[in-house]
Amino acid sequence: MIQEKYFEDVNVGDAVIELKKGPLQKLQLVMYAGASGDFNPLHTDDDFAKAVGMKDGVIAHGMFVMGCVGQAVTSWVPKNRLKRLGVRFAGMSKPGNTITISGVVTDKRVVDGENIVTCSVVAKDEQGDVKVSGSFDAALPSKA
Amino acid sequence: MADLSKVGTEYPPIVWEVERGKIREFAKAIGDFNPIYLDREAAVKAGYKDTPAPPTFLTVPMMWCGKMPDFINDLKINFMMVLHGEEEYEYYREIYPGDVITGTPKVTKMEEKTSKSGSKMDMITLEVLYTNQKGEKVAKARSLLVERK
């Protein structure tokens, strides 16, 4: 079970997440296509992907990588504490890539009686190229 | 080229019944083996009513409803030139197996921008507010689509 995090224990500048995913496999993209309902052949059919200019073939669904970011976030804070998750799709992920997701606390404040922590989050491949960047808000309990 | 006069358009609701198996399948496809998604007992032990939907699960009703190509056509966006620029979810309540989720898609913003390299693109924001069978707001999804011109 994910350990509860307390507002008092979290500080701006803290590194909060470290999750490594991969290497990405084509089979995962097939599974994700079926699970999500996104059947764009760019993600599952090498011939199609090459025909539209992807020289190495298929690329991952952006939403698959966001799903991995969601996994990373909810391995730091319990899922029912998550209030918002937003990302920008910055680069394409390919089979063989190993994606590392990390995050840093950027703000903490009390809003309408809720203890809100905001963190930046970024997913990079083994070369350090950014695939997805974004942020999330979580409402944390207080020890008091 | 996107028809910028379509800003404010609302599309017919997306209705989706959430199944336990779909939650498990979606979590496993991501490679997220958090037991709260896979096992009802583990979820209850962790303080949930049942196995909750993972953070990006709302892509499932959006993609499986098959309406995205209709929205793109209606907005006069060239499908071959469109990129998914951003995605954001705000969470209000958990989504559980058996919930019937209704999403109301609305085009909230359309604007032309010029990139640093001087190429023009249309930025289209689609927001979907999701409610459950009790009429409670469960989440809001915001998608930014970028059409290169």
Asked if A32 and B29 come within 8 Å (Cβ–Cβ), the reply is yes
Phi then psi for residue A119, to 5 deg, are -130, 145
The whole-number pLDDT of residue B11 equals 95
What separation in angstroms does the CA of B53 have from each of A56, A79, A89, A133, B20? 33, 9, 22, 22, 9
d(CA B78, CA B124): 12
**SS3 of residue B121 by DSSP:** strand
Average pLDDT, chain A: 96
Asked if A85 and B47 come within 8 Å (Cβ–Cβ), the reply is no
**Residues 6 or more apart from A14 whose CB is under 8 A from it?**
A104, A105
Give per-residue pLDDT as tens, A63-85.
999 999 999 999 999 999 999 99
Which residues on A lie below 8 Å from B88 (Cβ)?
A: 84-87, 134
**A82-89 β-sheet, strand order:** A15-21, A99-111, A114-124, A130-140, A82-89, B82-91, B137-148, B120-131, B100-114, B14-17
> Could you tell me which of A90, A71, A68, A87 has the C-alpha nearest to residue A79?
A71
Which residues on B lie below 8 Å from A38 (Cβ)?
A: 59, 63
Tokens of A63: 């939403």
The whole-number pLDDT of residue A91 equals 95
Whether A1 has a pLDDT exceeding 80, the answer reads: no
| A98 at B interface, C-beta within 8 A | no
Asked if A70 and B142 come within 8 Å (Cβ–Cβ), the reply is no
Which residues on A lie below 8 Å from B34 (Cβ)?
A: 2, 71, 74-75, 79
pLDDT tens-place values along chain B, 149 residues long: 789 999 999 999 999 999 999 999 999 999 999 999 999 999 999 999 999 999 999 999 999 988 888 899 999 998 888 899 999 999 999 999 999 999 999 999 999 999 888 889 999 999 999 999 999 999 999 999 999 88
Asked if B90 and A84 come within 8 Å (Cβ–Cβ), the reply is yes
> Could you tell me which of B124, B82, B126 has the C-alpha nearest to residue B104?
B126
Give per-residue pLDDT as tens, A8-47.
999 999 999 999 999 999 999 999 999 999 999 999 999 9
Which residues on B lie below 8 Å from A20 (Cβ)?
A: none
Give per-residue pLDDT as tens, A114-143.
999 999 999 999 999 999 999 999 999 998
- Domains along chain A with CATH numbers: 7-140 (3.10.129.10)
Asked if B29 and A28 come within 8 Å (Cβ–Cβ), the reply is yes
- Domains along chain B with CATH numbers: 4-19+53-148 (3.10.129.10)
Distance of residue B136 Cα from the nearest chain A Cα, in angstroms: 16
ipTM: 0.96
User: Strand pairing partners for B6?
Assistant: none
Give the confidence band of A2 by pLDDT, cuts at 50, 70, 90: confident
The whole-number pLDDT of residue B1 equals 78
Helix (H) or strand (E) holding B69: helix B68-74
Assign residue B22 a region (left: φ > 0; alpha: ψ between -120 and 50; beta: otherwise).
alpha
> Could you tell me which of A73, A46, A59, A49 has the C-alpha nearest to residue A136?
A73
**Residues 6 or more apart from A60 whose CB is under 8 A from it?**
A24, A29, A32, A43, A92, A93, A94, A95, A97
Tell me the residues of B at the A interface, defined by beta carbons under 8 Å apart.
22, 25-26, 28-32, 34-36, 42, 45-48, 52, 54-56, 59-60, 62-64, 66, 80, 83-91, 94, 142
